[in-house]
């Protein structure tokens, strides 16, 4: 009986996606969106209740899957809402609008299935499906820039998923040497100490490098930057949060396997190098870039670097890494949703064209200011807690010099991000005609206040269930 939910969810999501494409009237699409939200929420609740029970052979709702499933079930609600707002202000052909909602539905369902997958091959399949559905969202505007961004995303993600596939082949070689016939994560973890470390090292290098394209970190972070810049802002909100999570989960699942072997310290060094370079690259670009969406995108590279620093440091860093990723998954969509209001007010993505935002949209300006404090870990942001724990883990693990470098880089990011945000909020824009500024209702900012409130609440006073799930998710890692 436990299989029934996924038997409903997977074909049900596909059916709703098809109906989105063919039933293009506004009233039908609202009903379909509400139906999908109900289906997605039901899946999250069902999997939480049936935690640890394998379904349809290839799906097991463990603690990490449930955490990410809860995040995507929350974030998809404002993403769909703001998608309707987007189309009300940017009319498209009904066919293009139907394609957009169909792609968003398939993307959400593919991510959910990838979170729940207990088999390395099945994870690969659904991650590849996220590339195809995300590409349809990036190309939605169908102009030269979106075409370029889409092909770049497809090209880099295709290379990355090929690298993951090669890594899986190396895992297969290691497995077959021990007479094992399947690639379920649990079996791989249990038998990992007996695997040939040569093949495991090769597998980790390829799998880790491949999944960095989705995770948005060095070395293959570039795919996500253009994607978030060119996609409509509700879709960019998903790319900057729940899509990055699937990259992390792909890395984490294999990291659990290597943690049971003699190459564990070696894998930590690889992750540490990538994480430090990610924070460095984010710092360099956030100082120079003046495109608002790209600033937000590079902020994601920075935060994924912080997450991986916690993983590599170990100890309390494991807990901090998962918590930080969850909080970032709520904070970053709030920023992208607010960008939609900024663009409608000023008609530009450039910091130079935006200013005195408090005058034109006071509610949106409050969101932007609060989001800046939250995303840069200024108390009472919950991200302050997770970052502090990451720093503590680096100190306790003896990585003092890395901690000092990271603190310098993060201070530079806070300055660079703040310089742009405060310019947008308080400095008068040049040659801006404010006679036709649209008055944006408070209701459009409500979702952002809720998401940012979640970041503060979950970071400062995390519920017992959240703490238990995070601790369970990292229980297999060495302490």
Same domain, 180 and 209: yes
Q: Provide the pLDDT for residue 71.
A: 94
**Which neighbouring-strand residues pair with 350?**
291
Same domain, 145 and 205: yes
Tokens of residue 479, six digits: 């302490």
Same domain, 280 and 241: no
- The number of folded domains in the chain is 2
Q: Provide the pLDDT for residue 334.
A: 93
Q: Provide the pLDDT for residue 192.
A: 82
Closest CA to 454 of 365, 296, 325, 331: 331
Q: Provide the pLDDT for residue 98.
A: 85
DSSP 397: T
Measured in whole angstroms, the distance separating CA 290 from the mean position of its chain's CA atoms is 22
Measured in whole angstroms, the distance separating CA 409 from the mean position of its chain's CA atoms is 22
**Last residue of some domain: 234, 262, 290?**
262
DSSP 95-147: HHHHHHHHHHHHHHHHHHHHHHB-BHHHHHHHHHHHHHHHHHHHGGG-SHHHH
In which domain, by residue range, is 99 found? 1-262
**Last residue of some domain: 207, 230, 262?**
262
Element (H, E) at 18: helix 4-22
Residues of the chain with pLDDT under 70: 1
Same domain, 96 and 222: yes
Q: Provide the pLDDT for residue 326.
A: 95
Q: Provide the pLDDT for residue 90.
A: 77
Same domain, 353 and 368: yes
DSSP 440: P
Q: Provide the pLDDT for residue 187.
A: 87
- Read off the pLDDT of residues 397-422 as tens digits, 9 standing for 90 and up: 889 999 999 999 999 999 999 999 99
**Which neighbouring-strand residues pair with 291?**
350
**Last residue of some domain: 262, 287, 308?**
262
- Read off the pLDDT of residues 22-73 as tens digits, 9 standing for 90 and up: 887 888 889 999 999 999 999 999 999 998 888 888 898 999 999 999 999 9
Q: Provide the pLDDT for residue 215.
A: 87
Q: Provide the pLDDT for residue 136.
A: 87
DSSP 429: P
Q: Where are the beta strands (DSSP E) in 363-466?
A: none
Same domain, 225 and 275: no
Q: Provide the pLDDT for residue 137.
A: 87
Same domain, 349 and 360: yes
Going by C-beta distance under 8 Å and a sequence separation of 6 or more, which residues neighbour residue 25?
Answer: none
Same domain, 212 and 339: no
Same domain, 238 and 276: no
Q: Output the average pLDDT for the chain.
A: 89
Same domain, 253 and 290: no
Same domain, 184 and 67: yes
Same domain, 363 and 242: no
């Amino acid at each position: 009986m436990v299989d029934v939910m996924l038997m409903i969810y997977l074909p049900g999501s596909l059916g709703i996606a098809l109906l989105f494409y063919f039933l293009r009237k506004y009233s039908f699409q609202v009903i379909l969106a509400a139906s999908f939200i109900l289906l997605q929420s039901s899946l999250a609740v069902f999997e939480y209740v049936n935690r640890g029970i394998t379904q349809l052979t290839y799906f097991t709702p463990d603690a990490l899957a449930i955490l990410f499933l809860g995040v995507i079930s929350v974030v998809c609600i404002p993403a769909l809402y703001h998608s309707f707002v987007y189309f009300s202000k940017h009319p498209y052909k009904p066919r293009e609008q139907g394609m957009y909602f169909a792609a968003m539905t398939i993307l959400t369902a593919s991510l959910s299935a990838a979170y729940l997958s207990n088999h390395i091959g099945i994870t690969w399949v659904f991650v590849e499906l996220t590339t195809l559905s995300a590409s349809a969202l990036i190309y939605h505007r169908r102009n030269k820039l979106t075409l370029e961004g889409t092909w770049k995303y497809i090209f880099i993600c295709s290379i990355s998923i090929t690298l993951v596939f090669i890594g899986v082949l190396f895992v297969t070689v290691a497995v077959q040497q021990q007479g094992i016939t399947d690639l379920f994560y649990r079996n791989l973890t249990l038998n990992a100490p007996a695997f040939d470390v040569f093949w495991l090292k090769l597998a980790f290098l390829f799998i880790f490098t491949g999944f960095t394209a989705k995770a948005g970190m060095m070395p293959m972070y570039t795919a996500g930057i253009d994607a978030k810049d060119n996609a409509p802002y509700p879709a960019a909100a998903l790319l900057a949060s729940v899509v990055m999570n699937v990259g992390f989960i792909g890395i984490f699942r294999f990291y659990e396997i290597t943690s049971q072997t003699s190459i564990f310290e070696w894998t930590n060094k690889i992750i540490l190098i990538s994480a430090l370079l990610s924070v460095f690259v984010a710092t360099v670009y956030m100082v120079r870039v003046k495109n608002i969406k790209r600033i937000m995108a590079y902020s994601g590279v920075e935060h994924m670097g912080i997450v991986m620093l916690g993983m590599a440091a170990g100890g309390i860093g494991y807990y901090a890494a998962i918590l930080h990723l969850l909080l970032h998954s709520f904070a970053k969509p709030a920023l992208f949703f607010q960008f939609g209001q900024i663009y409608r007010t000023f008609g530009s993505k450039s910091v130079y064209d935006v200013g005195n935002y408090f005058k034109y949209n006071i509610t949106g300006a409050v969101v932007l200011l609060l989001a800046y404090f939250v995303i840069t870990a200024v108390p009472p942001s919950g991200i302050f807690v997770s970052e502090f724990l990451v720093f503590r883990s680096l100190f306790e693990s003896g990585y003092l010099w890395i901690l000092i470098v990271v603190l310098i880089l993060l201070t530079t990011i806070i300055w660079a991000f703040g310089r742009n945000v405060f310019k947008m909020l308080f400095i008068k824009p040049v040659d801006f005609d404010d006679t036709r500024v649209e008055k944006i209702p408070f209701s459009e900012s409500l979702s952002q206040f809720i998401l940012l409130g979640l970041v503060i609440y979950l970071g400062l006073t995390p519920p017992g269930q959240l703490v238990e799930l995070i601790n369970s998710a990292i229980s297999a890692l060495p302490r």
